[in-house]
Amino acid sequence: MAYTYLITGATSDVGRTLIERLLHNAPTDTLVLAQGCGDLAKMAELCRRYPGQLRTYDVDLSDRAKVDAFVEVLAADAPAPTHFIHLPALPVVNTKFKAFDQRRFDLDLEIEVHSAVRICKAVLPAMVRAKFGRVLFIQTSYTIGCPPKNTAAYVMAKSAIGGLVKSLAVEYAKFGITVNCVAPSMMETHFLKDTPDLIVQAAAEDNPMGRNATPADVVPAMAFLLSDEAGFITGVTLPVTGGSAIV
């Protein structure tokens, strides 16, 4: 069975690291459908290294009409995804709730949650027919236990993803489809560009391992949940936290 991976937020540090892992030594009929938004230049090296196995799409996930057009293009021009990995998120804005930015929160929900719902509705029927599928989201350790202060918008959006995962997991398990999350602790990527250095340093110092996570720490857990071997694991949120959040 040839695998087709649909990855949204593929231009992120995590997305590119995951693509490298998925395509390295993969059969030549393995295909990655990679979505980015205005930043597809980041995929140039991967496209060069894996010609014919990586197709890129520039899509604004905050626009519902563009998301719907995207899934129509995929249905017409690409094999049905066997795997769907949803990674997009806006950088965390650390701000007190009294300064809550409703417009930014609505944008977060569109990109992280509403686009995921629309794409899942498009790709899950083919997985049902195939009696196989893997769906994976990225959440956050902030949803495990007590979250840090001043992250209400981020925590609410990620909590919505957690609810979607549990609901889809129980509904689609009988069709051989698994739906899971990874929940990293603070990960040092471009995603932290708006986070003050003192907060990043404090998180590293507070982690039992004395550092923050990296994509290289998180991607192996993602790859496992996407694998054939993880076929009896569904509805879980797997912490990848160096011990800073334990369930």
Average pLDDT over residues 134-148: 92
Q: At 197, is the pLDDT very low, low, confident or very high (cuts 50, 70, 90)?
A: confident
Domain spans of the chain?
4-240
Average pLDDT over residues 229-236: 98
In CATH terms, the fold of domain 4-240 is Rossmann fold (3.40.50)
Average pLDDT over residues 228-242: 96
Active site residue 172: no
pLDDT at res. 202: 84
Give the tens place of pLDDT for each residue, 156-170: 999 999 999 999 999
pLDDT at res. 240: 95
pLDDT at res. 56: 98
Burial class of residue 123 (count of CB atoms within 10 Å of its CB; 0-12, 13-18, 19+): buried
pLDDT at residue 24 greater than cutoff 80:
yes
Collect all residues with Cβ–Cβ distance below 8 Å to 14 and sequence separation of at least 6.
Answer: 87, 138, 187, 189, 215, 218, 219, 222
pLDDT at residue 107 greater than cutoff 90:
yes
Q: Torsions phi, psi of 187, nearest 5? A: -115, 130
Collect all residues with Cβ–Cβ distance below 8 Å to 194 and sequence separation of at least 6.
Answer: 91, 92, 93, 94
Given the residues 5, 50, 142, 154, the one annotated as active site? 154
pLDDT at residue 122 greater than cutoff 80:
yes
pLDDT at res. 206: 86
Model confidence, pTM:
0.96
Give the tens place of pLDDT for each residue, 48-95: 999 999 999 999 999 999 999 999 999 999 999 999 999 999 888 888
Q: Six-digit token pair at 199? A: 């907060």
How many angstroms separate the CA atoms of 131 and 198, rounded? 48
Q: What is the mean pLDDT of the chain?
A: 94
Q: At 198, is the pLDDT very low, low, confident or very high (cuts 50, 70, 90)?
A: confident
